[in-house]
Amino acid sequence: MQPRVIAIVVARRGGTPLQQTLDALAQQSRRPDQLVVVDAAGVDAVTAQLAAANPTQFVTAGSGLGFGELVHRALAAVPLPEPTSSPYGGVDEWLWLLRHDTVPDPNALQRLLAAVEVAPSVAVAGAKQLEAEHPTVIAAYGETLTRWGATMAIAERELDQAQHDRTSDVLAVGEAAMLVRRTVYNAVEGFDSALPSVDAALDLCVRIRLAGHRVVGVPQARVFVHEGTASAGRAGGGRPVSPRTRARLMRTAQLHRRLVYSPAVAVPLHWLSLGPIAIARALGHLVRKRPTYAGGEFAAALAVAFSGSAVPAARRRLARGRSLGWSVIAPLRMAPDEVRRRRAIARDAQLAALDDDRPPRPDFLPGGAAVVALAAAVGAIAFAPLLGAPALLGGALAPLAPDLPTLLASLERTSVGAADPFAFVLALLGLLTPWQPSLAIVVLVIAALPLAALGGWWAAAAILRRPGPVAVVALLWAFSPALISALVEGRPAAVVAHLALPVLVASAARAPRSWSATGVAGLSAAVVVASSPSLLPALVVIWVVWMLANPRRLGRLLTLPVPTAALLAPLVYDQLVRGTPFGLLADPGLPSAPAAVTPTGLLLGWPDLSLVLAPIAQLLPDAPTAVVVAVLAALALVPVVLALVGLALPDGRRGIVPLVLVAGGLATAWAVSGVAVSVWGGQAVSIDVGPSLSLAALGVALAAGRGLDAIRVFAPMTRQAASFGPEPRGAGALAAVLGCVAVLAAVATAAPALSAVLLGSSAVRASEARTLPAIVAAEALSDPTIGTIVLTPVNAGLAARVDRGAGLFLVGQRTLEHTSAAGGTISAPSAELADLVGNLAAPSGRDVTTALDELDVRYVLLEDSGEGVAASTAENVTAALDGNPVLTPIGDADAGRLWRVVPDDDSRAEPAARSVSSTIVLAVQGGILALTLLLAIPTSLRPRRRSDQLATDEGPAATFEVGDDDE
Amino acid sequence: MTMSDDSTATRAPRTRSWLLVSGRASLALVAGAAGAALAAAVAFVPSPAIVVAVPSVAVTPDRSDQSLVCAGGALGLTRGDNPQLAVVAAEQLHTSGAGLVTSTLAASDAIDGSPIVVTLPREAPGDALAATGIVRPDTTEVTGLAAAECLTPARSAWLVGGSTTVGRTTWIVLSNDDAVDAVVDLSLWGDTGPIDAVGSTGIIVAAQSQRILPLAGFALDEPSPVVRVSSTGGSVAATLQTTVVRGLTPSGISIVTPLAEPALRHVIPAFPVINGQLALEQSTTDGGSDGLPALRLLAPGDTSAQVTVRLIGLDGAAGLVTEATVEPGVVLDLAVTNLADGEYSVIVDATEPIVVSARTSTATAEFADLEWFSPSPALEAGTAALVAVAPVNDEQSALLHLVAPDGAAEVSIDGVPVTVAAGGMVVLPTATNAGVRLTTSGRVHVSVSYRGDGVLAGSRVLAPPSAAGALTVLPQ
């Protein structure tokens, strides 16, 4: 039989590749007999280019059609040859499929024909596709399926070393330069129109195989591919298809084929499994740090699930063309162990590439471990009186929660309103010690110093190169005034913010390079903002600047605030609806008025400078305060000078980023120092400047560490030009001395304040897990809703509140409640309480029994009045309470004077029903956090290179440059 | 182009490195300057102040029944082998106010002692009440005249007066009108310092009852006692009743009414000296010295007090000025000698909070009486006070004493205007067994004295108790 070759060129765009393709066709050693061009570009230049090739047929088609459809249009223009009865056989027509980007080798057609002429059973022959830009690299050669139906290239992106030249029988070949017998093509009814680009050829070859024909690859026939199947299938300018689009196309095609190839009974099951599998695979993408692929899974599942008649049509087409069972292609599928082997190789290659790209980090051992151990020892000594306590009181400290269910219930919306984001942080803390949640706060305070050192080390090690400066940063951070103040004054929120800040800064720095770091940054930002909402404006500014600095990773950086927003959203809604937007700035937890903030204190980094000045004044009564402040300023200046020196050394501009943190922190501290939005105990409570100063201190510490690092880097760089000797000792010694001076200055400043708990001058003290007297706590065990009116005489009058159960718990505090005064009105319950208290705390003719019963109040506690409050206030209140026959005095308790309500009241107010919306909101918040956590967990364990293999004169770490660590 | 390249080729690296170094240095300088500017801004620009207003509610408590507890009758012992404490002369009362209800306490330590409680019910039309009781015992043990305003029960009372030397009997009278029991602690001071007395603490005064305790049980033979009464639980009305028997002659009775708190200034509007010489002569018959007008002073704190005592006479002259040092915790009886007969008032200023009271005596040939005058609380400008003047005999009279220690005050007494000069005093006769309405335009201190032949008594005008205003509650 005489072979007749119809070359079909499908052109979606013109340019050099198309011209090369047309030229290569003209230069073939065996010229095709007919040339059909399909103009799917719709551009005049392309039309002219195609027309210049003198095609036999010229077909114009819409650019939106798939490859198979375009081929179909082309064939419609070429009539089938008349059936002949000639003894020499009729004309044997072959279709040679080319795209605008596939340039065949001059001998390609000849060699393909040679392969098919000797084997009549062969219906399809495919060429070896090489990359046009790298002609020695195989773009693709042969395709096959795994046992589960996923497409696998037999060879893909490998150097062509003739290693595949003995492969001939394959399951399928790509459509580029595919030679297919026209009769067979028609018999299986051509390409599936539901597969517009990827897998179209695979599907065709599978059906041809099932029709009883063979598919071979012809390694001697080569075709140079410019774009690849996925890109060439798309209209437009021919931009490369992004990996995630390619993955979506592949997944859509695979799901379509799954429904088409499966037995009829299994189709509904497969259809039902589309959704769950999409979800599972999307989670898998998250875990493998490819969150951008997750959307494609759902898009693919939806597209296939609702593809209309495409699947039934394809199933019928397959059934009509099929003459053999599926067992004929089983041997041609890729063996499972081969699939595993290939995936392992790919993973190893990726890890190797990552490791080459990763900046070297100083080893944690021994320096980091020593620093953390030192901080742990100091912490254990400084907080020795708190060891073994079940809970802490003083300042903003209170027992965390009475039990685990209460802890978890605190996340829900109550009648007051939404839970604070800090409740999530507290719940997480409490889960560490589920048998006694309050213990977690004790652990937090005692372990704060080593944890801060650890966090400081982790953050600095990502930016600096040598363990020495990293250790300096870790110690500066652990002994930073903001942390010491927060610990000594009992501010758990500020402690948490301090511990989370270095994690946030270090992971945000790496976020443009890593999805995992993005997840960590998102979570730590949520923790920081939850613990200190006043930092939010500064963090938003820094975030925007960071996005501007990394425009290529804009999309990824845009996801950073998602967990924070998820936690904040209900509270923001409630505050805005109530008309008290400033209330969002309120510190969470138990409000505790900080000492007056002085500008000197702010500049020295101390939220409350008297923490240092008071012990020093006790120790050195004769030293004038001005001199002490001057000495403190000199000590605080050491790291600042190091930071500025770092700027003047090579690559100094990288030290600007930490200094931006300093400016942001200091500006925030200044701005919020005069803002009071919460009310507690009859006093306006200012926002704590501690976390803002933490931010500033982190910047100073990192910049100082960078300065030390630069001193040691600088010296070898300047001298090695002359002599390639060992690193000069001088610079190293200088850096070591400066580092020691900075650390000693920080420790010397921190020591007086840190000793406060040990000396008993701190408000923080060990306590039982209750704030009310033991008799109330005992009764609360059986009756947790029992109420106690707590009265505190203050200068402005008599502060009153109702505590439930054993007293105040951190999880029960809501900023919505504390900031309700910002609205300027007094809520009805507050007014009722005031009325009751007014008639209770002063001689009155009213019978308060009913009002007490309605509030379920069984006790009245008169707290000791603070300093400067007239004693007569407390005496008058005592007299009125004593003289009230409804109350019986119990006596002086540790917290004040206690009365019990005499008449019994067994009725308790019904607890408010849980609202459905609250559960939904909580589920959405939990879902977002869980997804971020999945993204954040590092799943690729990488073996670390030993640091002694590092050259000492490597450039600085590329932390602030864009690349990708985990893709 | 090539020319210039060639010519600078050798110098280029050095120039470039110099440029780099200077660029970096200027970067550090710029950063340092920016940091200094930021620091200066933080130090000198005041930060924005947004402070939420603390919600507060001024709660005026519901009006309750206002009660005044009267001191009770004159106390004496029954005759016989087993003498019992008994009321030997019932008190006569004038109550003033609309809708008053008078009742008696259920129990008393004294036979026939049923102290009277005057109550203004919460539904009564008026809001002012006053009551003054007066007793005129005439037994072989107790004679004289004593008056006392009925008291609002309190948790703290300072009783300055009395004596427990030979012939002097002093009773501590504690009346509890509350619905709850009161636990009373007594603290005592004498002329040698604080007195530790067994049983002086934890005295239970049951609800609606009266306890009467002999002061001699705590401080025997004490010429100058001062008693502090502090109660927990219910409040008590506390008074001292002191009687004098010289030889076998009963020579006077007085009821000492309490001061609320030690203060830096005390004003005693009534300090009459009547037949002072005779009283002094009579009082020396048994060697006692309590016929002499005197002030009793105590600084209960830890520091000694410098005391300035001014006696103001009717002519408005500053009169006698005495200065003394009161040692802490030691009661000082400051005798006022050579004082001509006449009406005086006493202003005591101290550098530390003190308590004070004044004693004068009167006598005729047959009778003698003494009286402790406690300082009167200030009636502030604009106050409308109700004065109950106790009933007296036909031969006895009552006088109203007004002192304005600070500035002149225009006082309207039942509509009749009276001007009290700054630092001066006014003494007016007043109707007895009557209520007098008194409004003032300035701060005045007011007392009432009752006198007859050889008898002397006094009561004070108290600020209206409703002056206690609304309570400011700061609800969470």
Residues of chain B with C-beta less than 8 angstroms from the C-beta of A801: 475-476
Q: Which helix (H) or strand (E) holds A197?
A: none
| Beta-carbon separation of B34 and A663 below 8 A | yes
| CB-based contact B31 A844, cutoff 8 Å | no
Is residue B7 domain-resident?
Answer: no
Phi then psi for A477, rounded to 5 degrees?
-70, -40
pLDDT at A724: 40
| Element containing residue A16 per DSSP (H, E) | helix A16-26
B455 and B367 in contact (C-beta within 8 Å)?
yes
The CATH number of residue A114's host domain is 3.90.550.10
| Beta-sheet pairing, B101-104 with B344-363 | unpaired
Nearest CA in chain A to B261: A872
Whether A735 and A786 share a structural domain: no
pLDDT at A715 (0 to 100):
53
Look at residue A962 in the predicted model and tell me its pLDDT.
39
- Could you tell me which residue, A726 or B157, shows the higher pLDDT? B157
Q: Is residue A612 part of a domain?
A: yes
- Whole-model pTM: value is 0.81
- Give SS3 for A837: helix
For residue A295, give both structure tokens. 């959307």
Look at residue A88 in the predicted model and tell me its pLDDT: 63
Q: How many CB atoms lie within 10 A of CB B14?
A: 9
**Is A92 in the same domain as A203?**
yes
- Return the closest-CA partner of residue A657 out of A462, A519, A801, A788: A462
ipTM of this complex prediction, to 2 decimal places: 0.75
Pick the range with the lowest mean pLDDT from A526-535, A716-725, A821-830: A716-725
Sheet strands (E) in B275-343: 294-298, 305-313, 321-326, 332-335
For the record, the structure tokens of A803 come out as 């505590």
Contact status of A106 with chain B (Cβ, < 8 Å): no
Q: Between residues 115 and 154 of chain A, which touch chain B (CB distance below 8 Å)?
A: none
Q: Is the pLDDT of residue A645 over 70?
A: yes
Coil, strand or helix: which one is B132?
A: strand
d(CA B410, CA B413) in angstroms, rounded, equals: 10
Cβ proximity of A648 and B28 under 8 Å? yes
Kindly state the average pLDDT of the residues A281-299: 89
Instruction: Tell whether A441 and A531 lie within a shared domain.
Output: yes
Residues A837 and A715 in one domain: no
| pLDDT, tens digit, 9 for 90 and up, residues A20-51 | 999 999 999 999 999 999 998 888 888 998 88
Name the residue among A508, A541, A536, A501 with its Cα closest to residue A522: A508
Quickly state the pLDDT bin for A954 (edges 50, 70, 90): very low
Q: What backbone torsions phi and psi does residue B267 show, to the nearest 5 degrees? A: -125, 125
Q: In the beta sheet, which residues pair with residue A295?
A: none
Helix (H, G, I), strand (E, B) or coil at B294: strand
Q: Note the pLDDT of residue B147.
A: 92
Is B17 domain-assigned? no
Asked if residue B50 is part of any domain, the answer here is: no
Report which of residues A806 and A654 the model is more confident about: A806
Residue A302 maps to a domain: no
Nearest to A706 by CA among A673, A675, A739: A739
How near does any CA of chain B get to the CA of A673, in Å? Answer: 7
For residues A330 and A371, state if they share a domain: no
Check whether residue A800 and residue A724 sit in a common domain: no
Q: Which DSSP helix (H) or strand (E) runs through B54?
A: none
Residues in A 790-829 with any Cβ partner in B closer than 8 A: 794, 796-802, 817, 819, 821-822, 824, 826
**Residue A560 maps to a domain:** yes
In a domain, A165, yes or no: yes
Highest mean pLDDT among A642-656, A941-955, B105-119, B157-171: B157-171
Flag whether pLDDT at A259 surpasses 90: yes
Count: domains in chain B: 1
Tally A–B CB contacts below 8 A: 198
A938 touches chain B (CB under 8 A): no
- DSSP assignment string, A569-621: HHHHHHHHHHT-GGGGGSPPSS--PPPPP-HHHHHHT-SSTHHHHHHHHHH-T
pLDDT over 50 (residue B67): yes
pLDDT of residue A85: 64
Transcribe A428-458 into DSSP letters: HHHTTSTTSTTHHHHHHHHHHHHHHHHHHHH
Within A306-358, residue ranges assigned H as helices are 310-321, 336-357
Contact across the interface for B57 and A796, Cβ inside 8 Å:
no
Question: Is residue B32 one of the residues assigned to a domain?
Answer: no
The answer to whether the CB atoms of B46 and A879 lie below 8 A apart is no
Q: Are B55 and A826 a contacting pair, CB within 8 Å? A: yes
**Omega prior to A366 cis, within 30 of 0:** yes
State whether residue A338 sits within 8 Å of chain B by CB. Answer: no
> Which region, left, alpha or beta, applies to residue A23 given φ > 0 means left and ψ of -120 to 50 means alpha?
alpha
| Nearest residue to B473 via CA among B54, B59, B63, B53 | B59
Distance CA A743, CA A471 (A): 9
Cα B362 off chain centre by: 25
Do residues B310 and B170 touch, judged by C-beta distance below 8 A? no
User: Is A892 in CB contact (< 8 Å) with chain B?
Assistant: no
Compare A588 and A826 and report the one with higher pLDDT: A588
* Full residue range of the structural domain in which residue B222 is found: 63-465
Residue A711 has pLDDT above 50, yes or no: yes
- Examine the domain organization and report whether A683 and A776 are in the same domain: no
Per-position DSSP letters for A345-365, written without gaps between them: HHHHHHHHHHHHHSPP---ST
For residue A268, what pLDDT band results from cuts at 50, 70 and 90? very high
Is A451's pLDDT higher than 90? Answer: yes
Q: Are residues A753 and A778 located together in one domain of the fold? A: no
3-state secondary structure of A676: strand
The terminus-to-terminus CA distance of chain B in angstroms comes to: 81
Cα B212 from Cα A688, distance rounded (Å): 58
pLDDT for the residue numbered B280: 82
- Looking at residue A485, what is its pLDDT? 92
The mean pLDDT value for B330-340 works out to 87
Q: B257 phi and psi, to 5 degrees?
A: -95, 155
* pLDDT tier, A654 (very low <50, low <70, confident <90, very high otherwise): confident
Specify the pLDDT at position A266.
92
Query: Can you give the pLDDT at residue B317?
Result: 61
pLDDT at B4 over 50: no
Q: Cite the DSSP H helix spans in A511-561.
A: 515-531, 536-549, 554-558
Region A668-695: mean pLDDT is 90
| β pairing state of A122-131 and A178-181 | antiparallel
Q: Which amino acid is at A452?
A: A
Each as own residue / partner, the long-range contacts of residues A305-308 (CB below 8 Å, 24 or more positions apart, any chain) are A305/A271, A305/A274, A305/A275, A307/A194, A307/A256
> Which of A649, A792, A844, A855 would best serve as a mutation to test chain B binding (most B beta carbons within 10 A)?
A844
Q: Which residues of B touch A884 (CB under 8 A)?
A: 180
Q: Which residue of A has its CA nearest to B34?
A: A663
Q: Does A662 touch chain B if contact means CB atoms closer than 8 Å? A: yes
Question: What is the spatial distance between Cα A422 and Cα A493, in angstroms, rounded to a whole number?
Answer: 8
R_g of chain B computed on alpha carbons = 33
Mean per-residue pLDDT for B430-440?
A: 88
Reading phi first (left if > 0) and then psi (alpha if -120 to 50, else beta), residue A177 is in left
B456 φ/ψ angles, rounded to the nearest 5 degrees: -150, 135
Closest alpha carbon within chain B to A598:
B43
Q: Average of pLDDT values for A876-900?
A: 83
Q: How many whole angstroms separate alpha carbon A89 and alpha carbon A249?
A: 43
- Give the Å distances, CA to CA, from A802 to A697, A834, A896, B133: 39, 11, 15, 46
Residue A718 pLDDT exceeds 60 = no
Q: State how beta strands B130-135 and B146-149 pair.
A: antiparallel
Q: Beta-strand (E) ranges in A920-964? A: none
Q: What pLDDT score does B106 carry?
A: 86
Rounded (5°) CA angle B17-B22-B27: 125
Q: Which tokens go with B319?
A: 């009169």
Q: Do residues A391 and A441 lie in contact, with contact meaning Cβ atoms separated by under 8 Å?
A: yes
For residue A958, the model assigns a pLDDT of 39
Q: What pLDDT, on a 0 to 100 scale, did the predictor assign at position B8? A: 44
Q: Which among A227, A282, A291, A287 has a CA at the least distance from the CA of A251?
A: A282
Tokens (6 digits) for B260: 């609320």
Judge whether B36 lies within some domain: no
Tell me the average pLDDT across B251-276.
Answer: 90
The residues in A 589-608 lying below 8 A from B, measured between CB atoms, are 599-600, 602-603
- The answer to whether residue A649 neighbours chain B at the CB level (below 8 Å) is yes
Mean pLDDT of the region A65-82: 86
pLDDT at A839: 86
Contact A39, A58 (CB under 8 A): yes
Per the prediction, chain B carries an average pLDDT of 86
Q: Decide if A462 contacts A441 (C-beta within 8 A).
A: no
Pair A438, A586 in one domain: yes
Please give the residue that has the higher pLDDT: either A848 or A256.
Answer: A256
- Specify whether A485 is located in the same domain as A600: yes
Residues A546 and A642 in one domain: yes
- Which chain B residue lies closest to A839 (C-alpha atoms)? B61
Least confident of A432-441, A756-765, A953-962, B340-349: A953-962
Query: What is the full DSSP assignment across B83-108?
Result: --EEEEE--EEEEESTT-EEEE-SEE
Residue A87, pLDDT score: 62
Q: What is the mean pLDDT of residues A913-919?
A: 81
Q: Residue B269: pLDDT above 80?
A: yes
Cα–Cα dist A803/A784, whole Å:
11
Provide the pLDDT for residue A524: 94
Averaged pLDDT for residues B183-188: 92
Hey, what are A800's tokens? 């009153």
The shortest CB-CB distance from A676 to any of B52, B65, B154 is to B52
Q: Is a pLDDT exceeding 90 seen at residue A276?
A: yes
Domain with A167 in it: 2-251+317-334
Q: Does B207 have pLDDT greater than 50?
A: yes
Average per-residue pLDDT in chain A? 86
Number of H helices, E strands in chain A: 36, 20
Provide the pLDDT for residue A722: 41
Where b means 16+ CB within 10 Å and e means fewer, A527-564 reads bbbbbbbbbbebbeebbeebbeebeebeebbebbbbbb
Overall number of domains in chain A:
3
Residues A7 and A68 placed together within one structural domain of the fold:
yes
